[in-house]
Amino acid sequence: MTRDPIERSLEIEQAQLRGFARSIAEVEWLLLILVVLYLFIGNPSLARSPSVLGVLLGFAAFVLLFRYARPFASNVHMKLGIEILAMLAFLTAVLVFAGVA
C-alpha cells in the first residue's frame, strides 16, 4: 500500500523538529554553564549577587521543567518558540545585571 507523499513529508518534518527540540535542551544547559563560568571567572562579586543567582536558578528550573515535564510535547513549534524566548530573556537579564546592556 502506497502512502500519501504529503503525509510522509509531514511525518519526516515532525521527526526532525523533535530531534531539534532535544538538541535545544542541550544548548540551554551549555548556555547556563557558560554564563556561570563567565560570571565566576570574570566577575565573582556579580556571581554572588542574589538577583543574578535568582536568574541562574530560575533558568535552570525552566530548563528542567521543559526537559522533564514536557508541557508542550504535542506542539513542538510552540515549545521551541518558548525555549528560544526564555534563552533570550535569560541572556538579557544577565547582561543587564552585569551592566553591559
Give the Cα separation of 30 and 78 in Å (integer): 22
Give the Cα separation of 86 and 58 in Å (integer): 10
pLDDT at 47: 85
pLDDT at 2: 61
Q: What is the pLDDT along the chain (101 residues), one digit of tens a residue?
A: 567 888 888 787 877 777 777 788 899 999 999 999 999 898 888 888 999 999 999 999 999 998 888 777 778 788 888 999 999 999 999 999 888 76
| CA geometry: angle 75, 77, 83, nearest 5 deg | 105
Q: Which set of grid coordinates corresponds to residue 1? A: 500500500
pLDDT at 58: 96
Q: What Å distances lie between residue 33 and 11, 19, 30, 48, CA to CA?
A: 34, 22, 5, 15
